[in-house]
Structure 1
């Protein structure tokens, strides 16, 4: 009950909606507060849904009628943001009270006032969309300024490297730099990685077959991301009181576990699950299957900290010093200078199946693979910027050269921090 959930743009709203479905909240019933810390005392979901277009938000009207969402928390603009970060960040109507930014911050203020104790905001959005990246960046800045003691966790998605939009490298550059400056942690999902893991979870083996790739729906990929978020943020046994009641959702405990250094906050998240008999070593092999062992330059990847969340009625069989957890640490390349790189959280059942038939392993790592995305983004954006490609599309909304230069400097400093943290 200390967290506000903020869904921004098409991608952010779709992922969050999948999350509410996984948690069984789409029927409009939050149930007891100790079992559903995602809701307020009145049983309404503590979520604000924002988009510059109507098509995604309108699907949530059914949940409003069922009593899950407050209708006033559905905030809709009158036109899209053209997949342009500057349009999403700077574009304001003449009447301030009609702006998405103003209306969203007003609803956030009212949600904060409903909290017993406001601890922070979880933001769902994308890195490449005009609303998700641009407005999402501005909201992070405003929330940090308005509630400096509250923490901000971003759940965001990077586009395919092969390209989704001609402006995506600029959008990713600018959004990542804003997230670095104003958030406390970022669950960073890559569409390429999510696609591979979604295919594998469906039991398909030929990951290079174009026919197999085309059969994977966007909804399936969103479900995988939402599964990972639920696996990390649902209550666990480690944070139960003596009476057996959960103290609530733990995104802030998670950030303390995996983001000990404020300059290194980009987190790699992966999950695997099985039904029936569970073999933890096999699940570790599955979750680390697509983990890149080294960077594009040949340097071994490493993790400064690692969180493993096990949800199973057999979780008592797995301990921090077990062979499966040691294997997990080796696969993620935990640094030697951290004496306690692994945190293990457990829950007696998986949120998707309370009968105990489903077992899941979710891993969150402060992993150096972010360097590859940073280098790719900076190199592509720098080439475009040097050629002055599409710059006028940003300047027309007020985005100046200093925004780009500051973004280049910010991401370069992040890359340096990750290199220097190597053992």
Structure 2
């Protein structure tokens, strides 16, 4: 998975745009969850995802046909609009300058300046997936900072650890000291579950007739992006069947939360959104104040925000249908993004000064100005996050 603006959403009617191999592989898991016949979806919840003719409100774009063809086969037949599947016959060589994501994000912003763009973005493993990944990450992140309103940022390394921990907790056959095999599909399932926790219709945003208006992505932006220059969002989730122990779910959510930078500076959150879903269980209401206080402390919310933690509650858990289950999904505007931005900037700077691989970018129209703007943009983001008082 390369870092790319994988899925993007805009309003007022929502369009779900999937880009490239990563975006469409993630989209496969997302639509499998959303079209699961065992989930007992209410007809009133279909609006944010389906058009009136029953087709998904999704655009799938890839320079190679393999992933989208697989998506067509595995998702319920007939729900994708054929004209919304845009395919090429050759790849883009993991080259940002030859790709589509950033350009489409820029074009959407130009065409719909008043619309909202929420991007779901996956950062590659730090160990390396491509010799060009540091350039690609630098340029992708800077373009998203300029043109998106919010960025749900997932790291392959942290998603891998989270998925492995979940597998250990649910599979008795896996020994505690054994590293289970984790597929990209399992990692994408976890990300899709996080997205469903945040974006599936919530009762509080429905009309009096209980029709979903699809406001969840835009209310999320309002809650966790109070400062328009700080838009990188950290998301974690915990789920449990049986009796709800919300303290245990909190512990699981914050277990992998980055607490401080490599230099020892404590990380903080400008704002936090907690989404609690529980199948016919009002236990969260009984412990809501305690839960929110613990999240405020764990995420080190800034003192200048008088209402740093927002909370949504729904009495249906789409993430684990058919069981007495509970989920807690937390999305925070968290300063740990500085760690990634520093890593990407430093690695890209070393390569750039050595003129490594730059001819591949000049070949497809990229210019020195694009790189300089990208470096300046990420430096500005790091400065903004660093200057906010805890």
Closer/same/farther in 2, CA of residues 367 and 207 from structure 1, 3 Å limit: farther
Shift of the 207–403 alpha-carbon distance from structure 1 to 2, 3 Å rule, reads: farther
1:179 to 130, 136, 144: 144
**In the alignment, structure 1 residue 375 sits paired with structure 2 residue 386:** no
Counterparts of 2:36 and 2:93, CA distance in 1: 32
1:65: how far off? 7.9
Asked if the contact 1:64–1:70 (Cα under 8 Å) also holds between the matched residues in 2, the reply is no
1:248, distance to aligned residue in structure 2 (A): 2.5
The correspondence for 1:339, drawn from 306, 318, 324, is: 306
| Residue aligning to 1:54 | 65
Alignment-derived partner of residue 384 in structure 2: 417
Q: How many residues are paired up?
A: 374
TM-score by length of 1: 0.84
How far does residue 36 in structure 1 lie from its aligned partner after superposition? Answer: 4.6
**Cα offset, 1:315, TM superposition:** 4.1
Bigger CA drift: 30-39 or 221-230? 30-39
Q: Could you say which structure has the greater relative contact order, defined with CA pairs below 8 angstroms and 6 or more residues apart?
A: 2
Give ranges in structure 1 of 5+ residues lacking alignment: 89-134
Change (3 A) 1:170 1:203: same
Q: What are the within-5 Å matches in structure 2 for residues 20-419 of structure 1?
A: 20-24=31-35, 32-62=43-73, 66-88=77-99, 135-203=100-168, 212=179, 215-312=181-278, 313-318=280-285, 322-355=289-322, 357-419=324-386
Aligned mates of 1:26, 1:82 — CA distance in 2? 38
| Helix, strand or coil at the partner of 1:212 | coil
Task: Describe the shift of the 1:379–1:320 C-alpha distance in structure 2 as closer, same or farther (beyond 3 A).
Answer: farther
Contact 2:18 2:27 in 1 (8 A): yes
Distance in structure 2 (CA, Å) of the matches to 1:146 and 1:376: 33
| Inter-CA distance 159–16: structure 2 relative to 1 (3 Å threshold) | same
Aligned 8 A contact 2:44 2:212 in 1: no
Cα offset for 1:352?
3.2
Find out whether 1:12 has 2:23 as its counterpart.
yes
What is the Cα deviation at residue 19 of structure 1?
Answer: 0.8
Partners of 2:274 and 2:126 in 1: CA distance: 28
- In the superposition, relative to structure 1, how do residues 26 and 411 fare at CA in structure 2: closer, same or farther (>3 Å)? farther
Tell me how far apart the structure 2 counterparts of residues 308 and 316 of structure 1 sit (CA, whole Å). 15
Shift of 1:153: 0.6
Local SS of the residue matching 2:327:
strand
Distance 2:126 2:102 in 1: 21
Cα pair 1:33 1:41 within 8 Å, conserved: no
Q: Would the alpha carbon gap of residues 49 and 160 (structure 1) be closer, same or farther in structure 2, given more than 3 Å must change?
A: same
Displacement of 1:60: 3.0
TM-score (norm 2): 0.91
- Residues 284-293 or 65-74, more deviating: 65-74
Secondary structure of 2:311's match?
Answer: strand
1:394 and 1:319 map into 2 onto residues whose CA distance is 56
* Secondary structure of 1:413's aligned partner: helix
Structure 2 CA distance for partners of 1:85 and 1:156, relative to 1, 3 Å: same
Alpha-carbon distance, 1:152 to partner:
0.5
With over 3 angstroms needed to count, the CA separation of the structure-2 counterparts of 1:345 and 1:154, relative to structure 1, is: same
RMSD after superposition: 2.2
SS in 1 for 2:117: strand
Q: Is the contact made by 1:154 and 1:185 (CA closer than 8 Å) also made in structure 2?
A: yes
Asked if 1 retains the 8 angstrom alpha-carbon contact of 2:15 and 2:58, the reply is: yes
Q: What secondary structure is seen at the aligned counterpart in 1 of 2:179?
A: helix
Map Cα deviations across residues 137-181 of structure 1 (whole Å, 9 max, x no partner). 100100000011111010010001111111000000000000000
Indicate the residue corresponding to 1:112 in structure 2: none
Alpha-carbon shift at residue 32 of structure 1 (Å):
2.4
Structure 2 unpaired stretches of 5+: 1-11
